[in-house]
Each structure stands twice: as C-alpha cells, then as structure tokens.
Amino acid sequence: MGAVFSNSTFGPREQPHAMTALAFRSALPGPIVAITANIHGDECTGTGAIHALASVLEENLLKGSVLMYPSLNPEALEDGRRDLPASGEDLNRLFPGHWNGSRAERRVRSIWQEVIHQAPAAILDLHSDSPLSIPYTIMDRPIAFRGGSRRDMELRIEALARATGLTVLWDYPDSKYRNLHLDRSLAGSAINRAAIPAITIEVGPRRHLDPAAVKTMNDAVWGVLAHMGMVKDRSRAKPAVVRAQSWYRADGPVALVGGILAPLCNPGLLLEPGMALAEIRNLDGEVMQTLRANCRCLLLGIVEKAFLKPGDCCATLGLAEQAR
C-alpha cells in the first residue's frame, strides 16, 4: 500500500502565475479523481482542504490516483478577489476555454486540457459561499443529455454529491442554468462536454482559512473518495445542518431599496411562505423593507454583504425539486 507523490506546474507560457498540480498515484489500479480549488480567488477553503489531504494521502490511498489543484487562480488568491486580475472575467463561466481567446480563456483552456487529459472518473470542484451559509454540494444540470442517458448522468452526479454527507441541491432549472452559462463552469463543462460526473462543493466562509470549514470540506471530499473505494471510510462529525430532501438552487428575495442588510434567521432553516428572513434598514435604523420567503424553502445562506443596492438578491435558497 501507499502512493507515489509527484508535483508539477502548468499554465499558459506567457502568463507569470503557473498553477500547481499535486498527484498521488497508488500502485493498485483504480479510479482517477481530480480535485480542483480556488478558481474563484477569494474562495480558499478548498486550498486548505487539499493541503490537509496531501498530508495523509501517501499513507492512505488504497487504489487509483488523486490529482489535486490547490489554486486555479493564484494571482486572484494573492489579490483576495474572485475573478482573474487584469481581466475581470469569471474563469468559472468560460470553459472549455480557447487557446486564441482572451487571457482568461487561454487560462481556462490550459486548465481544461490539464484536467480532462487525465480522464478522471470524477471531478470535485471546491468553492466557498458566504460565512452566513450552511455547507452544501451543487449538482450541475446535465443539459446536453436526453432521456435515459440524462437520468443515468444525474444518478452518477447525485451519488457523488450524497457521498459528501452535506445538504445537496440541483442547480437552477435548465433555462436559467443555461442563461447564466453554468454549463460553462468547470463542473458543468466536465459533465456536458466530457461526460465526466462532477460536483461543486461550497463550504464558507471565503476570504480566510477557517480551520472548522477546512475540516468540513476535507470530510466531504474524504466521503467521496471512500465512496469510490479509494480510502477507508472514517468517522466524521456531521455538519450541524443536513437537509436530506431534493432541492434546487433559487435566488432569494430582492432588495427594492438600498440599505443595511440585517439577517433575521440562521442559514439551514426551513422557511414557510411569508416568513421574514432579513430586513433592510436605513442608517437611522428604520426598517425600509422586510424580505420574506414566498414559498416553502430552505435558507442555504444569506449573502456576504452589509449593504444591498436596489435589485440585489439577499439570499440563496433551496426549493423542492419535483421528481421527474
């Protein structure tokens, strides 16, 4: 038993920040899993989780290979920002990228080439939502598939997502999913262009390494590796809130006036129609608007903002997914 470790760098030659790849390969054949982090440069929990995994995988990998990418956006990590500096583009909406495209598209192409070239059996893309959110796993919509093959892909994605042990939810319904270019995210593109099951794990906070969040992320990833028979299952602390139902992602109520956002309830709560989840106040402390749920839903998280402008959405919700 035991695995061989190697590391390398990759990325467009003309770009100063190379990306790092860490690989653990067991002598026993088995699945290849790719774990990617920090494509949004201010979301660093996944980077910490990869470092934690790297310190134990050499001893613990039973079969197959684990390929890990601690930061797909290292210059944004340095700047503490989401998008690619000097470009302003969100890398996670540009897959599979383009060698002759913008700086961001060339970066994305090099990531796509590096990850897909390894023919992984699964991709886990690690992100962070707000500090006011429960940890959850997003399942992308396999919109390129039809009928039975769509159902098959959904089952493969859902099996990975459930293995994280977190609350899981499908992404926005198909038309919104497509309009937001989520099929051009890393996970969405892996599923829809390369037929590789992928999930996006969201464990907040962003912007700093939080030991408890890193542990939650690490446990979620470990759960998937154990599900695939690549590591031994281990006991893990259950996240404080796991809502086992089938949900899909939806945006919370929108601010009609600008003002201070004051949350009124904790993430993870099941909201009944009409329940207030937050209010908007002016600087006098006067309530300008009460933000209420308009149907039964799960409060996944409240946005990491102290001030909302008119039109800003205040929360991420889970709505009940209809069985197909």
Task: List interacting residues with Zn ion (CB under 5 A).
Answer: 40, 43, 127
The nearest distance, CB 137 to Zn ion, in angstroms, is: 13
Give the torsion through C-alpha atoms of 228, 229, 230, 231, to 10 deg: 120
Q: How far is the CB of 129 from Zn ion (least distance, A)?
A: 8
Closest to Zn ion by CB, 40 vs 141, is 40
Those residues whose C-beta lies under 8 Å from the C-beta of residue 117, and which sit 6 or more positions away, are none
Nearer to Zn ion, 107 or 127 (CB): 127
Minimum separation from the CB atom of position 206 to Zn ion (A) = 8
Q: Which is nearer to Zn ion, 60 or 71 (CB)?
A: 71
| Closer Cβ to Zn ion, 37 or 280, answer by number | 37
Q: Write out the two tokens for 193.
A: 């262009």
Distance of CA 228 to the CA centre of its chain: 20
Task: Say if residue 96 is preceded by a cis peptide, omega within 30 of 0.
Answer: yes
Instruction: Report the nearest approach of Zn ion to the CB of residue 132 (Å).
Output: 16
Angstrom CA distances, 179 to 174, 175, 182, 183, stand at 9, 6, 8, 9
Residue 122 belongs to what H/E stretch? strand 122-127
> 3-28 burial, b for 16+ CB within 10 Å, e for fewer?
beeeeeeebbeeeebebbbbbbbbee
Task: Give DSSP secondary structure letters for 167-193.
Answer: EEEE-S-HHHHHHTTGGGSHHHHHHHH
The amino acid occupying position 297 is: C
Q: Are 191 and 232 in contact (CB under 8 A)?
A: no
Residue 104 vs 121, nearer CB to Zn ion = 104
- Residue 40 CB, shortest distance to Zn ion, in Å, is 4
Of 72 and 250, CB closest to Zn ion? 72
Query: Least distance from C-beta 71 to Zn ion, angstroms?
Result: 13
